């Protein structure tokens, strides 16, 4: 079942640690969100239960010495995975950063 438009909680797991944020999925497939230091902006495509996304992750609050859980403060990422009943499990990679790989879970918290 494809993800419905709405507000989602994002839980990231990376080799550098875990992080959390929120994002809003619009009816036309745009995703906008962030956390206390990073902004997420991009698009989501869905075909049945399959989900793919292209997101720009950009630092909006600069704190000396602080790096995001992804290990980079400004990076484009690609997500691929599957959705089911208001949530999705995805794997993230980056064409810009060959070694970057992470898992994330999107869980709908409001429509």
Q: Rounded to an integer, what distance in angstroms lies between the CA atom of residue 43 and that of residue 14? A: 22
pLDDT in tens, the chain (111 residues): 789 999 999 999 988 888 899 999 999 999 999 998 889 999 999 999 999 999 999 988 888 877 777 777 789 999 999 999 899 999 999 998 888 999 999 999 999
CATH domain 6-110 topology: Lipocalin (2.40.128)
User: DSSP letter string over the chain?
Assistant: -PPPSEEEEEEEEETTEEEEEEEEE-TTSEEEEE-SSEEEEEEEEEETTEEEEEEEEEE-S--TT---TTS-SEEEEEEEEEEETTEEEEEEE-SSSTT-EEEEEEEEEE-
18's tokens:
């875990």
Structural domain spans, the chain: 6-110
How far does Cα 105 stand from its chain's mean position?
8
């Amino acid at each position: 079942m494809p993800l419905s438009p709405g507000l989602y909680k994002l839980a990231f797991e990376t080799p550098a640690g875990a992080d959390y944020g929120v994002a809003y999925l619009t009816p036309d497939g745009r995703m906008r969100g962030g956390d206390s230091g990073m902004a997420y902006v991009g698009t989501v495509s869905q075909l049945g239960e399959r989900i793919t996304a292209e997101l720009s992750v950009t630092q909006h609050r600069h704190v000396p010495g602080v790096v995001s859980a992804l290990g980079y403060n400004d990076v484009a990422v690609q997500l691929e995975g599957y959705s089911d009943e208001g949530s999705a499990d995805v794997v993230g990679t980056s064409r810009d950063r060959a070694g970057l790989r992470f898992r994330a879970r999107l869980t709908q918290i409001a429509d």
